[in-house]
Amino acid sequence: MSKNQHTTLVKCLAFALGFTCCCEWSHAGNWGHWRGDGGNSVSKDASPPTTWGPTKNIKWKAVVPGRGSGSPVVWDDRVFVVSAIPTASAAYEYAVICFDRNNGQQKWNKVAATGKPHEGTHSTNGFASASPCTDGERVYAHFGSRGLYCYTIDGELLWSRTDLPRMTMRGTFGEGSSPTIAEDLLIVPHDHEGNSSLYAFNKLTGETVWEAKRDEPSCWATPLIMKVGEQTQIIMNGQNFARAYELRTGKELWRCGGQTQRPVASAVGAVSYTHLTLPTTPYV
């Protein structure tokens, strides 16, 4: 990679003026997961602008070093993003970065890991694809084969898991499933061309609570956490089946076939129904 390519590998984080979002399980204005805490990309109380541009409805803009395709998550006055920052040695610094929600100033930048990727990634993907998540006290970042990391919202590393199996993704498309907080657990998908699993970790300590083996190849979906009666289910897409797991034990509850190759879509749900959008033609 040339020096010019290094200098252009930056992204801008733009924050819309007046943006607020509120989800069922969070305080007003918080957005703790990729699709919000309800997992459906829906806020009942938000009133964001419907149009914006370089000088319209933008409160602030901040340069983010490196490249990452994870979504920002927001809690109170903090905005968290992840990025893979190239170095001169062809390695990357896998970073968690916190910005001030009010003015875009960087609060902290922590390098969770440094290393060369063991395989490539799709041209539209990067090496920091999973969105972080937060419960307002801790922020979790999953860099796939580079590890899972838990920080305080002030940037202190609490624990890490770097012992999970290295992932081998179909077509070297790269990794991308995001972690999800569910009660006192952190749910992490690990579907690839090797031995796939769905993990539940204690969100305070990082210890493994359960592991559900999955006969699934590479998948880029993120779990949906859904309450059905008195039972909390984890709904996870896959190439062979979409499946539901019991939150506390990881026991498979049901499965649905008819999936296609290269599953990317994550489930959405309401009341006692869940919906999955499947591509009619697999992409290459």
Least confident interval from 37-41, 112-116, 190-194, 264-268? 264-268
CA dihedral 155, 161, 164, 167 (to 10 degrees): 10
126-138 confidence digits (pLDDT tens)? 788 899 999 999 9
Give residue-wise pLDDT tens across range 62-84.
999 998 888 999 999 999 999 99
Among the residue ranges 78-92, 142-156, 224-238, 257-271, the one predicted with the least confidence is 257-271
> Does 2 score more than 70 pLDDT?
no
Whole-number pLDDT of residue 208: 98
Of the pLDDT bands very low, low, confident and very high (cuts 50, 70, 90), residue 198 is very high
Separation between Cα atoms, residue 180 and residue 202, nearest integer Å: 12
Beta bridge partners of 142: 148
Residues 6+ apart with CB under 8 A from 60: 14, 15, 103, 104
**C-alpha dist (Å) from residue 273 to 10, 173, 227, 267, 269:** 40, 31, 10, 10, 6
Note the pLDDT tens digit of each residue in 219-240.
778 889 988 888 999 998 878 8
Catalogue all structural domains in the chain, each as residue range(s) with its CATH number: 1-176 (2.40.128.630)
pLDDT of residue 215: 81
Residue 125, pLDDT > 90, answer no
Give pLDDT, residue 27: 40
Report the C-alpha gap between 131 and 168 in whole angstroms: 20
- When the pLDDT of each residue in the chain is averaged and rounded to a whole number, the result is 82
Distance CA 232, CA 249 (A): 11
pLDDT at 259: 73
Residue 204 confidence (pLDDT):
98
